[in-house]
Structures are given as structure tokens and as C-alpha cells.
Amino acid sequence: MNFTRNDNKIILIDGGLGTTLHEYGLAVFDDPLWSGKALVKEQELLAKVHRDFVQAKCDVILTATYQVTVDNLMNYHHLSNEQAEEIIYNSVKIARNVIDEEKAKCYVAASIGPYGAALSDGSEFNGWYTDSMTIEQFKDWHRPRLAVLARAQPDLIAFETIPSKKEAEALVELLKEFPNGTKTTAHGEPIEEAAASVCLKSPDQIIAVGVNCVHPETVVPLIKQMNKMDRDFIAYPNAGVTWDPKTMTFKNEGRLIAPFIRSYIDAGIKYIGGCCNVNPNQIRTIRDIIDSYSSYL
């Protein structure tokens, strides 16, 4: 389904894929690929999670490729290069098949995490590696996965949890090869500057800018830092949890993000969803909030 911008519609994104797989019984926290483990070993369970999010009436579901790269599949699951590329390609196919089976009006977004996500040590939340890498090195590292996902023809590409301006710029530059706190990035740059920079580099391909996997209370303050942008805004926070890479657990219990949704809509956010520890039941509640709110627009 070809994606088209609609200025009058709030777009609902799915919730935390890895944490929902864990909730459904798959031990993902002990695997460096996290939700990508399901791509290799539990595709039926992955399809069930996708289906539950679709049945929660999401407008967009993300593939299980956030921490998945060709090299990681080869190293951790002992696959050949061809097998690894097929796994990544099939991530889009699995999501698309669920949508088709449900006869749903829903888009597939191919998930691409940062370099730090592949390190499996929480590096995407501070971006420590950024200063030692060049834009060209980032592009070279991201290119193989993006090439496979682009070939699978998702409706959207979701660059997720990018902690630095440099890596964001590299991704946007790379995107050209495939045509068709509350004030800063995790690495410390002003968030308005980072958002403006990537939009200027490829204005025709960037449909929305925003935040993900942040505490739900920080969403509106962060978005307000970008209020001069001529783009739609996107936000899919986690449930207020903090990941501890040493213990491979979440530090706190988290909370529901539903009470924040109206404030997100009032702030002009058009693409809304959830990240870690936001499950299909919560997404279903958010769907109801969006629908009830939209009826008054």
C-alpha cells in the first residue's frame, strides 16, 4: 500500500515488539538480536504479535529488524550471508502477509536501529561510539541492511533511536541511494538542530521527525523544540522504563502511556505509537482515544 501523507489524520504506530514477544513467552533479552530472534526461530509467534497490533487497529507496524544485521545473523545464529539477507527480507513479508490476511489498511515500516543497537550494550542510548566514526563509516555499516529492506519494498523506513546528529545525517545521505533530555539528542546536540539538518539534506523523503523510546513525559517538551519544522511530528515513547544493559533487565515497572495521548495530539503529533513495554492492549486503548478525539476534529 503506497503511503501518502494526510494532514488531517492521526497515525497510530504499533507498540514494543521485543517486549511483547517476551510477554508472549519468547526469551528475547538473552539474544543479541532481541526481537530479531523471532525472525530466525519463531516466525509464527512474530506473526501473532504483528496480528495483535493490527487487530488493535494500528496504522503502521514495524518489522523485527531493529537490532538485526547481516553480520549479526551470521555471527550469532551461524547463517550464511544469503540466509541472513533472506531473513531480513522476510521481515517485511511476514508483516505484509499479516496485514493482507487481516484485510487491514495498515502500512509496513522497516525498522532500522543505530550502530549502537547492534552492539547489544545499550549504546544507542548515549551514542558514545559516534565521535570515533565518520559519516562514511556509518553509511557503509548501514548500507547492507537498508539495501535488503529497500528491496523488500516496505511502505516506510523507520530509523529508530538514533542517538546523534552525525549518524542521523549519515542515514539520510544513505537514503538518497534508495530513491522512492528534552532539548537534545542522546549524544548531546540540540534536537531542533539535528531535525532541521536531516530535513534539509533530503526534504522530499522525510515525512516526519520526532522521538521514540523516550519517557512518555518527555515527548511534548522534545517535540516543542522542533515546532518550527515544516514536517509532521512522530512519537512512540516507551512505558517509562529504563534498560540496564548490565543485568539485561528493565529497571523500573513503567506506566501506561494512554493518559499522555491527548497531550500528544494537542501538541500536533500526527504519528503516535509505543515502544518498549507497550503491548497490543495498550495500543488498542490508544486507538480508542485517537478515534474518540478525532470525532471532535
Q: Which residue has the higher pLDDT, 189 or 81?
A: 81
Residue type, 271: Y
φ/ψ of 78, rounded to 5, equals 55, 40
Spatial CB neighbours of 240, under 8 Å, sequence gap ≥ 6? 215, 216, 217, 252, 254, 255, 257
Q: Which CATH superfamily is domain 11-294 in?
A: Homocysteine-binding-like domain (3.20.20.330)
pLDDT-derived band at 177, boundaries 50, 70, 90: confident
**Other beta carbons less than 10 A from residue 62's beta carbon:** 31
**Dist CA 219 CA 127 (whole Å):** 20
The average confidence (pLDDT) of the chain is 90
CB 198 within 8 A of CB 209: yes
User: Largest Cα–Cα distance of the chain, in whole Å?
Assistant: 54
pLDDT-derived band at 8, boundaries 50, 70, 90: confident
Residue 58 is assigned to a ligand binding site: no
User: For the chain, what are the domain ranges?
Assistant: 11-294
pLDDT, tens digit, 9 for 90 and up, residues 220-229 = 999 998 888 8
Residue 106 is assigned to a ligand binding site: no
pLDDT, tens digit, 9 for 90 and up, residues 255-290 = 789 999 999 999 999 999 999 999 999 999 999 999
- Residue 248, pLDDT above cutoff 80: no
- Residue 245, pLDDT above cutoff 80: no
- Residue 183, pLDDT above cutoff 90: no
At residue 118, the pLDDT reads: 87
* Cell matching residue 52: 495483535
**Dist CA 4 CA 249 (whole Å):** 38
